[in-house]
């Protein structure tokens, strides 16, 4: 192979890679221009909400799709090979699957928290049992439940009626990062103490019976 010919092919491959990189950067830059509105008007609620009308979201997706689609006649160096296109489709399919699994995991986790609050914490609190400190035993689990519900709501809003290739969930975690850290810091800090309290309660037959009854209701 002649040196000039080899150099020409290398330049072609480099241009393809640069084009793919620039398209991905263009996508992220354009995505940051969305009209995301953070509503923190509720006192004490730092999680905020993401609001975007259906018409705005559709218009944005259409404009972004136009920018991401090659315009006019493209040179050979600017077109993806069938192998690269196949690899891109596989990556996008994998990404879509990961997002779906993430949302399903959050749904399952939230369901478990709801069961714990409804079938264990609330019944024990209503019984007003002497020597059983429900708040110390379960720490701030109800706050964990609330922030988990907020996270799931934001994830669903960011992905519902949005083409898989246009779904961006990173900003959801950035938005809710602060409240998540604050709540889980408290939960983790008090975990060892709650475990010690549970062990002490299990040594008293009356308290152990109440706890066992709640656990059976979960099953």
Distance, in Å, from the CA atom of 204 to the CA atom of 148, rounded to the nearest integer, reads 33
Does 213 score more than 50 pLDDT? yes
**Domain boundaries defined on the chain:** 87-218
More confident residue, 60 or 136: 136
What's the CATH code, domain 87-218? 1.20.900.10
CA 175 to chain centroid = 11
More confident residue, 180 or 26: 180
Task: Tell me the pLDDT tens digit for each residue of 92-132.
Answer: 999 999 999 999 999 999 999 999 999 999 988 988 888 88
Task: Tell me the pLDDT tens digit for each residue of 63-90.
Answer: 555 555 555 444 444 566 888 888 888 9
DSSP character string of 68-103 = HSPPS---GGGS--HHHHHHHHHHHHHHHHHHHHHH
N-to-C CA span, the chain: 72
23 touches 71 (CB < 8 A): no
Measured in degrees and rounded to the nearest 5, phi and psi for residue 56 equal -65, -45
Distances (CA, A) of 84 to 5, 77, 79: 22, 13, 10
Distance, in Å, from the CA atom of 105 to the CA atom of 109, rounded to the nearest integer, reads 6
pTM above threshold 0.85:
no
Distance, in Å, from the CA atom of 143 to the CA atom of 150, rounded to the nearest integer, reads 11
């Amino acid at each position: 192979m002649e040196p000039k010919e080899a150099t020409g092919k290398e330049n072609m491959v480099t241009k393809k890679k640069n084009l793919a990189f620039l398209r991905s950067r263009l996508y992220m830059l354009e995505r940051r221009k969305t009209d995301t509105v953070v509503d923190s008007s509720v006192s004490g609620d730092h999680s905020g909400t993401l609001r975007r009308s259906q018409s705005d979201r559709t218009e944005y997706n259409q404009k972004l799709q136009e920018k991401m689609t090659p315009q006019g006649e493209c040179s050979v160096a600017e077109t993806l090979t069938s192998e690269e296109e196949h690899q891109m489709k596989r990556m996008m399919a994998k990404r879509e699957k990961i997002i779906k699994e993430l949302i399903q995991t959050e749904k399952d986790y939230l369901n478990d928290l709801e069961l714990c609050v409804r079938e264990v914490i609330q019944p024990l609190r209503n019984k007003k049992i002497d020597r059983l400190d429900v708040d110390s035993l379960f720490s701030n689990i109800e706050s964990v439940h609330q922030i988990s519900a907020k996270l799931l709501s934001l994830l669903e809003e960011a992905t519902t009626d949005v083409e898989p290739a246009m779904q961006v969930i990173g900003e959801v975690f950035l938005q809710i990062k602060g409240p998540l850290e604050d709540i889980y810091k408290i939960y983790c800090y008090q975990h060892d103490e709650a475990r010690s309290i549970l062990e002490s309660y299990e040594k008293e037959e009356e308290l152990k019976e109440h706890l066992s009854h709640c656990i059976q209701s979960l099953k």
